Amino acid sequence: MSKYTRRSFVKIASLSATALSMPSIAFGALPRVVVIGGGAGGATAAKYIAKDSKGKVDVTLIEASKRYYTCFFSNLYLGDFRNYGSIGHNYYGLAVNRGVNVVHEWAKSVDPAAKKVNLGSGGSVSYDKLVVSPGIDLKFDSINGYSTDVQSKMPHAWKSGTQVQLLKNKVKGMKKGGTFVMVPPPNPYRCPPGPYERVSMIAHQFKKSNPTAKIVVLDPKKKFSKMGLFQEAWQKHYPGMIEWIGVDTHGGLKNINAATMEFETDLDTFKADAASVVPAQQAGAIAMTAGINKGDWCPIVAGSMQSQADENIYVLGDASIAKSMPKSGFSANSQAKVAANHIRGSLTGSKVFPARYSNTCWSLVATNDGVKVGASYKAGAEKIDVTSKFISKTGESSDLRKATYEESIGWYEGITSDMFS
């Protein structure tokens, strides 16, 4: 048996990419599954299809980035609870341990009629079943005055990577006693509690090094996920520092002037010294080119995660319309296992189990103070239905909150191992 080293893996990946650059790909007699997107949905689906089919299915994962930085836990990096390297992961385990053909290319478009994915290099790869897990794209024009041209001045940091590092630098470099403005996105969006955990982690930084700083949250919503828990924590840990203003009070964000760092609302014009602006969102562009979207998102079959538009395409994670399931890494990982089981069954005749889903979203609000919300789900006739749910309570003991935070650390290690090993 051949022994693989990291060097040989890089060489193999390079050769695979070269092969896929050809006009079309022939995989032999094995059924072919192509997965677009190497995040919590795509990486998990690729792994489980390859692992559980035991060599009976040829799996290709198309992901442009060679290293994946998780959006989940990026807020903990902002708060200095994680270093940046700790949220980065590679695809070595999927390629070497699971036999997934990992191709670092852009998936440019999908041709459902020909059942092929067109690559940015000009080549294409054919499939019998396709998994689309592209995450989100940002609708920059949803906020007047915000655009790709000003995202470096007011980072959204809603796709992990250099934007997150940039935002942290702006937080740490903000003038003493200055004002930070946070603009969360409207529903629906990736990671519902995320903007408010971000506010908490920025406040944690300010409490240490800039205690007279202020944070103003100009929210396009009237309420938000875990609202009572966050507001209790802000009052306890950061009294007087955070002002949350809902749309029913400020009347709507009318314009952003990036040059002057001003945010115009019906209530007032707010001047910022640093800011984070997260616009409205939609499914990643590749889903649109495949024609599997209905508006901004992609309808799915509740029991399989198949696209309602094409039974040979499955849509996972943030891009899907999963009704009561939030757009989260946990949700995507859970959905991927349902899709993998269904794909394997349809291609090899293996047993397909009834769909069961789960999700938990943890948030860190201060040192050793974690809160969570979650639910279990089943496939209904027309949508994914909640079967049970839970949420942390206000007034919980410090021991319980510490245990909740430690639980989240264990989950992070578990899910990233589940995705990439």
Q: What is the mean pLDDT of residues 186-210?
A: 98
Q: How confident is the model at residue 160 (pLDDT cuts 50, 70, 90)?
A: confident
Q: Are residues 116 and 226 in the same domain?
A: no
- Which comes out higher in pLDDT, residue 2 or 93? 93
In a domain, 388, yes or no: no
Last residue of a domain, one of 353, 379, 405: 353
Residues 295, 291: Cα–Cα separation, whole Å: 10
- State the pLDDT confidence band at 20, using cuts at 50, 70 and 90: very low
Q: Is 94 part of a structural domain of the chain? A: yes
d(CA 105, CA 402): 42
> Residue 27: pLDDT above 70?
no
Tokens at 338, concatenated:
């349902």
In this structure, the answer to whether residues 248 and 148 fall within a common structural domain is yes
Looking at residues 199-210, what average pLDDT do you find?
98
- Residue 262, pLDDT > 70, answer yes
Indicate if 104 and 157 belong to the same structural domain: no
Per-residue model confidence as pLDDT tens digits over 307-365: 999 999 999 999 999 999 999 999 999 999 999 999 999 999 999 999 999 999 999 99
Same domain, 327 and 298: yes
Q: Model confidence at 4, in pLDDT bands (50, 70, 90)?
A: very low
Band of the pLDDT at 7, cuts 50, 70, 90?
A: very low
Domain count, the chain: 2
3-state secondary structure string across 327-393: ECHHHHHHHHHHHHHHHHHHHHCCCCCCCEEEEEEEEEEECCEEEEEEEEEEECCCCEEEEEEEECC
- Does residue 266 fall inside a structural domain? yes
Same structural domain, 96 and 151: no
Same domain, 19 and 115: yes
Mean pLDDT of the chain: 93
Is the N-terminal amide bond of 31 cis, ω within 30° of 0? no
Same-domain check for residues 131 and 145: no
How far from 59 is each of 45, 265, 352, 415, CA to CA, in Å? 10, 50, 19, 21
CATH of the domain at 185: 3.50.50.60
Q: What percent of the chain has pLDDT over 70?
A: 93
For the ranges 15-19, 164-168, 345-349, the lowest mean pLDDT is seen at 15-19
**Cα–Cα distance for residue pair 99/49, rounded to 1 Å:** 10
In this structure, the answer to whether residues 181 and 57 fall within a common structural domain is no
Residues 263-301 pLDDT 10s: 999 999 999 999 999 999 999 999 999 999 999 999 999
Shared domain check, 257 and 185: yes
Q: What is the pTM of this model?
A: 0.92
Task: Choose the final residue of a domain: 246, 262, 280.
Answer: 280
Residue 23 to residue 419: CA distance in whole angstroms: 30
Question: Coil, strand or helix: which one is 123?
Answer: coil
Residues 6 or more apart in contact with residue 280 via CB below 8 angstroms: 138, 139, 142, 143, 185, 186, 189
In a domain, 395, yes or no: no
Instruction: Dump pLDDT digits (tens) for 229-239.
Output: 999 999 999 99
* pLDDT above 90 (res 187): yes
Alpha carbon distance 5, 26 (integer Å) = 27
Residue 208 domain-assigned?
yes
Residues 6+ apart with CB under 8 A from 7: none
Taking residues 3-13, report their average pLDDT.
Answer: 35
pLDDT for residue 15 is more than 50: no
Residue 29: what pLDDT? 78
Look at residue 262 and tell me if it is in a domain. Answer: yes
Let me know if residue 410 belongs to a domain. no
User: Do residues 147 and 271 share a domain?
Assistant: yes
pLDDT higher than 50, residue 5: no
What is the structure's pLDDT at 161? 84
Domain that holds residue 147: 140-280
The pLDDT, as a whole number, for residue 28 is 52
408 in any annotated domain: no
Out of 238, 257, 280, a domain closes at: 280
- Whether residues 216 and 118 fall in one domain: no
Classify residue 400 by burial, with Cβ atoms within 10 Å: 0-12, 13-18, 19+: middle
261 in the same domain as 328:
no
